[in-house]
Amino acid sequence: LTVSIIIAEASLELVPNELQNHPSVRHEALRRNKSVSKILLDRSLHHSAMLRLENSEKRGRPDLVHMTLLQITCAPIFLNGKINAYVHTVNNEVMELENAVRIPKSYFRFQGLMEKLLAGGRSITEGKNLISLSKMTLPRLVQSIGARKVIGFSRLGQKKPLELIAEENIGAENVALVVGGFAKGTFSNETSSVLDCKYSISNYSLDSHVVCARVLYEFEKKILR
Ligand SMILES: C[S@@+](CC[C@H](N)C(=O)[O-])C[C@H]1O[C@@H](n2cnc3c(N)ncnc32)[C@H](O)[C@@H]1O
């Protein structure tokens, strides 16, 4: 059994070209002594710059990606090497987190790490472990993982208890679990196209980090004992 978890369409990216002249962006770059092309797009700082940005509801929330990655990488199932974790961003950049990678708990340090990775365009080492970056669409990622079954999580999916979802798929050969890495909106058509099924685990619209924590725990209970 190979299980992968994919944070899809994650709202993590550097400030795009067309916004680099905006005062809020220039101000932040100046304050942090960084180039305007090497800082993360962040809605809490660049809200006014983002008003006319395409697909803007799925962009500029690196804080959500941070919380979600902490949930994943601190979970026993990940520490045990029983699950592979990937971040696929709104810009079709894919990060593969090597097992045991330590994501900084401090947002300030996470921000620096992501800026270095995205601006450098390849891979970086955090502690002894690597996060590698490549340009890839979600369908390509699913193909490269070799997933035979792709399960999407969405409030709009079929309502099903998580325990049952884990139970039903634990015998699968290679399964990928897909959770959205954005604050608002639903999966794009491209993302939906790779999903074999979509399940809802609550009537609430939950944050990605909560969904990931619960999904991982249910699979962990089946896998680690
Ligand atoms: C903050 S939500 C995105 C907002 C969107 N309104 C929604 O509910 O899908 C982030 C991600 O968490 C997952 N999610 C949120 N609520 C869920 C639910 N009730 N059941 C299953 N997955 C959920 C989905 O993968 C979603 O893309």
Give pLDDT tens digits for 163-202. 999 999 998 889 999 999 999 999 999 999 999 999 999 9
Q: Dihedral sign, CA of 87, 37, 106, 46?
A: negative
Mean pLDDT of 202-225: 95
pTM equals: 0.96
Residue 207 CA: nearest ligand 1 atom is: 1
Among candidates 66, 60, 59, which has minimal Cα distance to 112?
Answer: 66
Q: Per residue in 185-223, is it b (16+ CB within 10 Å) or e — as a string? A: eebbeebeebbeebbbbeeeebebbbbbbbbbbbbbebb
Closest residue by CA, ligand 1 atom 18: 155
Closest residue by CA, ligand 1 atom 8: 205
Closest residue by CA, ligand 1 atom 15: 206
Ligand 1 and 210: CB distance under 6 A: no
Which pLDDT tens digit goes with each residue over 66-91? Answer: 999 999 999 999 999 999 999 999 99
Structure tokens at 103: 């994501």
Among candidates 70, 94, 92, 72, which has minimal Cα distance to 84?
Answer: 72
Which pLDDT tens digit goes with each residue over 88-111? Answer: 999 999 999 988 788 999 999 999
> Which 8-state DSSP code applies to residue 18?
G
Ligand 1 and 159: CB distance under 6 A: no
What are the backbone dihedrals phi and psi of residue 180, each rounded to the nearest 5 degrees, phi first? Answer: -70, 140
Ligand 1 and 123: CB distance under 6 A: no
What's the pLDDT at 171? 86
What's the pLDDT at 126? 65
Report the residue among 61, 63, 154 best suited for mutation to probe ligand 1: largest number of ligand atoms under 8 A from its CB.
154
